[in-house]
Structure 1
Amino acid sequence: MASGAFVGAAIAATVSTTLVIGQGPVTTGTTQRQTVTGEVVVPASIALRPQTALLSAGPSGFLRWESGHDLLWTGYDGNDTKVGPAETSVPIVPHFGAGSDVVAVYDHPGNVTLRDMSTGRSQQVTLPVGHSYVSTLGSTIVTRTGSSFDANLTWRLLEVRDDGSVVHRAVEGVPDGIAGTFTANAPLGDAHGQVVQYRIGTTSHTGWLDVDQGRFSPLPYRAETNPGHIVVTPTHLLWRQDGTVFVHSRADLSATPRTMPLTGDALVLGMVGDRLVVSRYDSSLGELNYGKPVWRVEAVALDGSPARTLLARSSSFGVPTPRGGLLVQGGPGPGWEQWGVSLVEATDGGEPTVRSIADAYPQKIQTVERLTYTQGRLSTVEYDPLHERRRLWTRDVGVSGSPTVGSRLPRGAAPGTCAGGYCLSLDDTGDGRTVVAGRAVGATLDPQPHLLGPAQSLPGARIDGSRAYEQVGAVSGRLAALRTPHDGTAAQTRIVDLDTGQTVYTTTDHVQAMWGTTAWLADGNDAVTPVDVLTGRRGTQVWFGRGCLLENVEAVGRWLRWFCALAGTHGVFDTVTRKTITFDAGSVGTDAKLGDGFVVFPRDGRLTVTDFRSGTPVTRTVGQSPVAGPWDLDPYTGVIAHLAPDHSIHIVPSGVPVPPLVQLDATVAATYVKGGAGQWTPKWWLNKPTASWTLVIRNQATGTTVRTLSGGVARGVVAPAWNGRDGSGGLVSDGVYSWALSVTPADGEGAALTGSGSVRLNGSECLLRSRAGSQTVACSSNRSSTG
């Protein structure tokens, strides 16, 4: 139905004369135009995504960061104390302290505020000139001095004592020639010391900085210090490399470590009692990502006995406590239920137990990134933070009276490379189907158009797989205008019948819009020309003025909407009166959308409707809420859907009456071979939803009704199916059968749309019964033999 992503267009009235349903004329009674009434609100589609980061732990509590909140000190009783202002990104461990109740807040360029959360006492320490901040261990600030250029880097200790004095201490045992030091966002230390990495020449080394002794000790191994690969506990140094975990006793970090295998995608979190605590990637929770909640926390015995799950879902890394426990974030189930911070502790027998300490403060994610609204069907592209994917959903909205919103139907996930709601082009056809194509820049999305049925899931079925396309120009009903790329010859637009897969019209011109069977072709930069794509018949050119540089043409019913980019002018063109009406839409340009006789565009945060039916523009604001995100206008119902500031979706009538029910297109076979697997399947595409329809089939020779088919609400297309049988299930005889269709508009106003025609049936078989028994003969023979 749309030109571009949402609204398809074409004007059949300027190309052909009277539209017909099948072989008979269409008639409409006098109708009182009436719009759908009442504004409906679809509740906010909000997802919660915990983003807790554990920063340090002391005897009385721990420091954590929560997205959108202040830094929080949480006691082991679960009570929170605000420490500092909210951070915009996850802070780095151990900049905020390690191994004690002292929280350090570094204020660049040279002030560190130490706050003892157990006593409430604070003290600010100014770093000496030439000192760079490294970390805070207990009440000792670690700094770095020297230069990489001179290869004389070393560490210094600023010890803050109980009386408030600051004692400067040099670190003994530091090797000469250090040209670089490295830090990692990992629990590398506690109140007594810290693992550091440094470089001498081109070789990297690992060392231990002992705060208590003021001494540096090079270690006889190079530990992996990436997050999840190293952790310092009160009793051990643990690090993992190449599928092996090295377990060093803090009593002698140079001694030969104990080792155990840890293969696959796994992270080392800590050690509780005599159990190693690890997290393993669980593919059922989402795609592999080291910072996302796709991990399962397990306790692993060093003797290789079976692991035990502690938390079914977790993310990020753990922080050891001074008393031998381990803080981890996560939950007991695979969802977000009961997500928070838990403390893993050892029983007397060394077996880990899990105790919930505090709930998390999940980040609220506005999931609706895009929406379309067509024939009363609301489709949304929504972000799924659980699996970090964009998903397509559809809701059916009532199309008569005050609309009601149906349940949300899942339509599948976009490819993993889809990084935003607009990485997929969505072109609703107006009959429940959607043409989908990838259009993300730099992403490996399939750009070839696919067709989604009304309940089908992504990616859908490929349209015309015989050639490549680079753009969906416009769609309407069963027709889609697809643009081929330049391959040394002129690019073509091929209009494909979505029901048959066949090309019905080919042109080198760009298709600006479609409505029904009419395509509006670009005619230079300042004009368009209509063509009926089924007959090839062209209509009269519409010219918008010299130097227009035409953009974003739409067509609905008898109307065209246009925008001249160079002049910055907006207008509509009435194809019946051949008059142009301009209107002021500000600088929104392509953000206006066309209805049948009116235009909708945002202005000052509200949606504005400009009605042109009288020939003079009449403008008013609609809706009870500002527009705060994606929005769309349904040209088939005159109803608007938009995202509100509270992330709810508002379904808002435009206030413009809906035009009478008319046919846009039809495919009605004149003959049908019955008795097989196929059926007679006529289709009629309409300009708005229907409340009900009835198809009466009669024997043309006798006038006897053989079958009556009926249906309820139809959104854009009435598509009955007849198998050539009567109401009792028997095959009817060969011959010509007349049909009469009656369609009632969903707005309940005015006469039904009616049409009639005939279809010839042949090739059936009937069972002839006589006194001699039964035999199978053709129905036509049966009819003639019985008279």
Structure 2
Amino acid sequence: MLGAAALALATGIGALTAVPAAAGPAGADELTIAPLPHQEPSRASFIKAGPKGITLIRPGTGPGRWYWKSFEDGRELPLADCPSGPYGVSLSHGDSVGCEFRDQPSTTAGPLTLIDQSTGHTETLAPPVGRAWTTTFSPTQVLATERDAQGRFILHLIGRENEPRKDVTVTAPEPIAADSLWVRTSDEKGALLTYRSADGRQILALLDYARATLTPLALPDGATDPISVDYSLGSRWVTLRKNGSATATLLSRADITVTRTVNTGSSHGNSHAVGDWVVSQDYNGQDNKVTAAPVGGGAPRTLLARSEFGLKTGTDGAGYLDGGTDSSHWATYRITPGPDGAPVLTKMRDLPPNPADRLTLSLAQGRLIAGQQDPTRSLQGYTVPVSGTSPAKQTPDWSCDEKQDERLCTPRAELPGWTVPTGDGRIVSLSTKGEGACGSPVNLCGVVLNVRDTRPGGTVRQVPLPGTDAMYPYLIDSASGRYVLFTVTENKNSRMVVADIDAGKLLAVSPSPVATLWGSQLWDRGEGNAVTATDLNTGKPVRHQALGAPCRPEDLQVSGDWLYAQCPASGGGPAALHMPSGKRIPLPFAPESDRVKLGDGYVVRQGGAGLEVYNMRSGTAVREREIAQEMRKYGSDWTLDRFGGRLAYTDAGQTVHLVGVTGNASPLAVIDQDVAATADFRQVKTWQARWWLSKPVSSWKLTVRDTSSGLTTVVRTGTDARGLIDPKWDGKSATGTYLFSGAYEWTLTARPADGRGAEVSTSGTVSMTRPPTGGRPPARP
């Protein structure tokens, strides 16, 4: 076993000592991607409104959840509070709140405190003898009740400090049954009440504060009970509309005998008179459009294309609602008469959209795929910088939603392995050939690979796998390049299989439940305390790696030069192995299934309080970072890029954070290749050649050397490549002329995008035949 100093010399891994975990945000290596706006508008509800402000409620619980916001200067104040005692009553009206204090059950009124939130002014009214407070008040009076000898209510208006009339009896057509009085709505001028008459009917009546009168109102035609009526108080008109009717009846507040009827254009929703216009919201339509129609007749106007259900009335007679055109243009509006009397909208506050809900995350070769819901489910793909301080692009390179393709574009937070990246610009998912049960006459299951190339110009294709008719696919366990490892159920038994995406076939291997893929190699349990890599191109074992301790792994992961194994049956804790040096690095936590993931030189553990990042690039497990927030599972709200990249996680605000670890990733390597040994350009347009790489590259070059002449020609070059280089060589030189037929040695060189380590070079041979030229070929130099 190498010591720390020798390990540093042999592998370039510095010999650092363990340090405490870093808390808080990372440095320059952290990138963030803000969520896209939700397509549904923000639903930041408001409770009520007055002439000077609006009462709102924040999500969550606790003090300050209810607050008042000033229209004039934007001040936000916690909803004013006053002691009400265990048996008291809270009141609220416009810009004021109040409470009646009672510390024991009693029918006797307690002192009433009223607070004006716009000014902060507080006044307390002594309990009126023989009276009881109701829950409504005006700027000058408070409505109270008195019981007569039969226990029925007589209404009183009790004057506040700025009102000289301290107790005015309301003139009413009859005493009111005490158990039937209900204040339905009120403003600064009066209130609408309901009560039960002496003959048992439910009555809707208008209380006028200035006149101290209570006047029963005739219900609209067809309405037999106030419950079936939509009603509101405007500054000039009382609006009544039978539910299900498009006709609103208006009664003048100056003279209740003066009435008008207005066709609102909708038989559902709320209506409210603003000046001499009736504003209506059609909450049963697709868009909840808001329109206004003149009381005196005339064409209606559209005020808002869309709105949130709930047209509310302010104590000043104005209308209030949330609406706009779309989620990014949404606000709370106040509706008041304009200079010509027609309703105008005044924006009281903007309502920026909520973030779209992140459902899943995957990251491979610096390509992030975020699944989201807004409200339809979709995938969004981003290409992030591999290193340096350049910010991440905030708009996706591509997107697809479940309406386009449910098989490939539906993120499932409960099944993060539903759609996975292959590391070469593709994503893959599993489906069956039909809907019937396995073995039924309707359908014999059968496995289909759904493949989407997310690169520009990429295609979507389905790959049915022969010989799988008795199989039912479950989830993908691992994917790398052209190979995918997944679980199937066959004859009621679960097992692992490997498929070649491009060849469209299952491979003749039998992986154990702990197997994993890295490029063209399938890593699995080997003999004794070792693991073995099988080359899937040849089916032969190509690598045998001792684990450095008694170990029969129950979890096995590979990333670059690193291997992670946990072997609870043998009593050994989880450990990482740096394969070039054979250095085994114990990890300081108990074995945990599905809660630890291996990156290139680091592991991430999902603990009870969040994520712990252990950096092993120094030769020792160093807890380098701690992310203290609740996480669901790998692939849902956190993931990592095992192709030399970062850790990614979603915070509570739906922003994705991508954080790196210190030290060098593994050297750039070719982890699979598919290169044709011949290229007959008489029959094909391009030479079939693909190389899969362990991490992104910044530049690459393909040369061919004529083995007869020794002449080397650069035939293709490129810049950024993420996981795959697949040049389309047509047999020509850079000047556009065909090379001679014959034997060539090809060489691919590539430079790592992270700037760490040397460039990679790989070579092979190809026999090239060029098309006939119609003349004598030129002499060789």
Give the TM-score normalised by structure 2. 0.69
Structure 2 counterpart of 1:479, from 479, 483, 489: 483
Picking from 601, 604, 609, the partner of 2:614 is 609
Q: Following superposition of structure 1 onto structure 2, how do residues 604-643 of structure 1 map, counting pairs within 5 Å?
A: 607-611=612-616, 614=619, 617-622=620-625, 630-637=637-644, 639-642=646-649
1:63 equivalent in alignment to 2:70: no
Question: Could you tell me how far apart the structure 2 residues matched to 1:465 and 1:223 are?
Answer: 67
The equivalent residue for 1:689 is 696
Deviation at 1:598, TM superposition (A): 3.8
Query: Within 1, Cα distance between the matches of 2:312 and 2:666?
Result: 66
- SS in structure 1 at match of 2:764: strand
In structure 2, what residue type is equivalent to 1:103? V
In structure 1, distance between residues paired with 2:182 and 2:416 = 42
CA contact (8 A) 2:381 2:399 kept: no
Q: How does 1:107-256 map to 2 (within 5 A)?
A: 114-116=114-116, 120-123=121-124, 140=142, 160-162=158-160, 192-194=190-192, 207-212=203-208, 213=213, 219=219, 221=223, 231-234=232-235, 235-239=237-241, 241-242=243-244, 244-249=246-251
How far has the Cα of 1:692 moved from its partner? Answer: 1.6
Gap runs ≥5 in structure 1:
1-29, 87-93, 146-152, 289-293, 439-446, 770-781
Distance in 2 (alpha carbons) for counterparts of 1:520 and 1:250: 84
Cα distance, 1:260–1:722 mapped onto 2, change above 3 Å: same
C-alpha change, 1:598 and 1:159, in structure 2 (3 Å) is same
> What amino acid is the match of 1:56?
K
Q: Tell me, yes or no, if the aligned pair for 2:360 and 2:411 is still in contact at 8 Å.
A: no
Shift of 1:684: 0.9
2:774 equivalent in structure 1: 768
* Pair 1:103-2:91 in alignment: no
Q: 1:494 to 1:124 in 2, by over 3 A?
A: farther
- 1:339-358, aligned counterparts within 5 Å? 340-347=331-338, 349-356=340-347, 358=348
User: 1:531 deviation in Å?
Assistant: 4.4
Distance 1:723-1:244 versus aligned 2 partners, 3 A rule: farther
Q: Closer, same or farther in 2 for the Cα pair 1:492/1:144, shift >3 Å? A: farther
In 1, are the aligned partners of 2:380 and 2:400 still within 8 Å (CA)?
A: no
CA deviation vs aligned residue, 1:476-526 (integer Å, no higher than 9, x gap): 12212233346x5434544233334433356485364221223345899x9
Deviations 1:678-732 (Å, cap 9, x if unpaired)?
5223111111222221111345555455661011122222211112334343455
1:325 is matched with 318
- The one-character-per-residue Cα deviations of 1:606-657 (angstroms, maximum 9, x if unpaired) are 744242775xx4424248x867865443332254445678986655442242
Contact 1:481 1:511 in 2 (8 A): no
- Taking the TM superposition and a 5 Å limit, the aligned residue runs for 1:324-473 are 324-330=317-323, 334=326, 336=328, 340-347=331-338, 349-356=340-347, 358-360=348-350, 371-381=361-371, 387-388=374-375, 392-400=379-387, 405-412=392-399, 414-415=401-402, 425=417, 427-435=420-428, 450-455=450-455, 462=462, 464=464, 469-473=473-477
Shift of 1:475: 1.0
Partner of residue 45, structure 1: 34
Whether the 8 Å contact between 1:34 and 1:747 is mirrored in structure 2 is no
Figure out how many residues of one structure are paired with residues of the other and give that number: 689
Cα distance change, pair 742–479 in 1 and its aligned pair in 2 (3 A):
same
Find the counterpart in structure 2 of residue 84 from structure 1: 79
Separation in 2, partners of 1:375, 1:44: 17
Q: Quote the Cα distance in structure 1 between the aligned partners of 2:355 and 2:778.
A: 73
Q: Deviations over 1:642-680 (max 9, x none)?
A: 567898665544224222222211111233453577522
Percent of pairs with identical residues: 20
Query: After superposition, what is the alpha-carbon deviation per residue over 1:240-281, rounded to whole angstroms, capped at 9, x for unaligned?
Result: 6447343343679999983636359x7435232443323468
- The CA deviation at 1:211 is 4.2
Structure 1 equivalent of residue 439 of structure 2: none
1:592 aligned residue (586, 591, 596): 596
**1:399 Cα offset (Å):** 3.0
Q: Secondary structure at the match of 1:470?
A: strand
Quote the Cα distance in structure 2 between the aligned partners of 1:182 and 1:568: 73
Matches of 1:436 and 1:253 in 2, distance apart? 69
1:340-364 Cα deviation digits (max 9, x unpaired): 44332224644222234x3347687
Q: Is the 8 A contact 1:55 1:96 kept in 2?
A: no
Counterpart of 1:685 in 2: which secondary structure? strand
Task: Rate the CA distance shift 1:257–1:494 in 2: closer, same or farther, 3 A.
Answer: farther
- Given that 1:115 and 1:121 are in contact with CA atoms closer than 8 Å, whether structure 2 keeps it comes out as yes
1:582 CA displacement: 3.5
Q: What SS class does the counterpart of residue 774 from structure 2 fall into? A: strand
- SS where residue 409 of structure 1 aligns? coil
Q: Mapping of 1:645-664 within 5 angstroms? A: 651-664=658-671
The 3 A distance-change label for structure 1 pair 456 and 192 is: farther
Q: What amino acid is the match of 1:320?
A: T
Aligned partners of 1:39 and 1:402 also within 8 Å: yes
Give the distance between the partners of 2:205 and 2:42, measured in 1 at CA: 34
Gaps of 5+ in 2: 1-9, 16-25, 82-88, 432-446, 632-636
TM-score, normalisation: structure 1: 0.68
Q: Partner of 2:291 in structure 1?
A: 298
Secondary structure in 2 aligned to 1:484? Answer: strand
| 2:367 maps to amino acid | R
Partners of 2:154 and 2:565 in 1: how far apart?
70
| Equivalent of 2:586 in 576, 582, 607 | 582
Question: CA separation of 1:231/1:412 partners in 2, compared to 1, >3 Å: closer, same or farther?
Answer: farther
Indicate yes or no: 2:511 matched with 1:517. no
Q: Is the 8 A contact 1:596 1:659 kept in 2?
A: yes
Whole-angstrom distance in 1 between the partners of 2:336 and 2:740: 83
Aligned partners of 1:456 and 1:133: how far apart in 2?
Answer: 68
Task: Give the counterpart letter for 2:204 in structure 1.
Answer: W
Query: Quick one: higher RCO (CA 8 Å, sep 6+), 1 or 2?
Result: 1
State the 1:43 CA deviation.
4.9
Q: Distance in 2 between matches of 1:501 and 1:712?
A: 30
Is the partner of 1:688 in helix, strand or coil? Answer: coil
SS in 2 for 1:723: coil
Indicate if the aligned counterparts of 1:553 and 1:562 stay in contact, CA closer than 8 A: yes
Tell me the distance in 2 between the aligned counterparts of 1:304 and 1:242.
Answer: 21
**Partner of residue 743, structure 1:** 750
Q: CA 1:632–1:323 in 2, change beyond 3 Å: closer, same or farther?
A: closer
Which residue pairs with 2:505 in the alignment?
502
- Contact conserved, 1:270 with 1:276, CA < 8 A, in 2? yes
Secondary structure class of the residue paired with 1:725: coil
> CA contact under 8 A between 1:53 and 1:64: conserved in structure 2?
no
**CA spacing shift, 1:363–1:537, aligned 2, 3 Å:** same
